[in-house]
Amino acid sequence: MDLKYSFYVNQTTRQRIIDLLEPYTVEQLNQIPTGFNNNLIWNAGHVVVTQQLLVYRMSNLETKVDDQLIEQFRKGSAPNQVFDATAIDELKFLLAETPKMLKTDYEYGMFTQYNAYTTSYGIELTRTEEAIIFNNTHEAMHLGTMLAMRKLL
């Protein structure tokens, strides 16, 4: 299966998220807007972590991010700390670099198995390629949430 377009969509979505974060202060990125239960920086970290879990962990591979980051941003988590400028810069780096790492690892042939998983969206993922494609839907949904949030900051 040719995933060239899926990788392109992922990198484009990630760049949109990075661009969306740029004009805001550390305080604004950490602020939870009225009507929401998380913030801009949590959504940014969540897309990084979810890609790692959906694609790498479900393929029985080590993630490219540490377990502490996974615990902070995984499904079911919520913002429980204020992220400083250094942590925000690290997240921006991961937003930009993890799609490149995934593309390289996929092209290298690292993904040889996958543990079937049904997403909270109700979609069953049975192969790495399906996880890569579905991840774009997940990230677009969070980008939409972030676009709504920024109007309340």
Mean per-residue pLDDT pooled into runs of 10, the chain (153 residues):
94 98 98 97 98 98 97 95 97 98 98 97 97 98 97 92
How many whole angstroms separate alpha carbon 43 and alpha carbon 150?
12
Cβ distance 26 to 114 under 8 Å? Answer: no
Note the pLDDT of residue 102: 98
Nearest C-alpha neighbor of 44 from the set 3, 87, 1: 87
DSSP for 49-95, please give it.
HHHIIIIIGGGT---SS-HHHHHHHSTT----S---HHHHHHHHHHH
Strand partners, 37: none
Average pLDDT value for the chain: 97
- pTM value is 0.96
Ramachandran quadrant class, 66 (left: phi over 0; alpha: psi -120 to 50; beta: rest): beta
What is 4-150's CATH superfamily? dinb family like domain (1.20.120.450)
Note the pLDDT of residue 43: 98
Note the pLDDT of residue 1: 73
